[in-house]
Amino acid sequence: VREKRLTLPPSEITML
């Protein structure tokens, strides 16, 4: 699970 997490992409950031 930990390895899978690390492969997830970073998120974009949205200004609201």
Which residues of this chain interact with another protein, rule CB under 8 A?
5-6, 8-16
Which position has the token pair 């899978």? Answer: 4
CB of 2 vs another protein, minimal distance in Å: 11
CB of 6 vs another protein, minimal distance in Å: 8
Give CA–CA dist 10/8, Å, rounded: 7
Q: Which amino acid is at 4?
A: K
Question: What does residue 14 show for φ and ψ, rounded to 5 degrees?
Answer: -120, 130
CB of 1 vs another protein, minimal distance in Å: 9
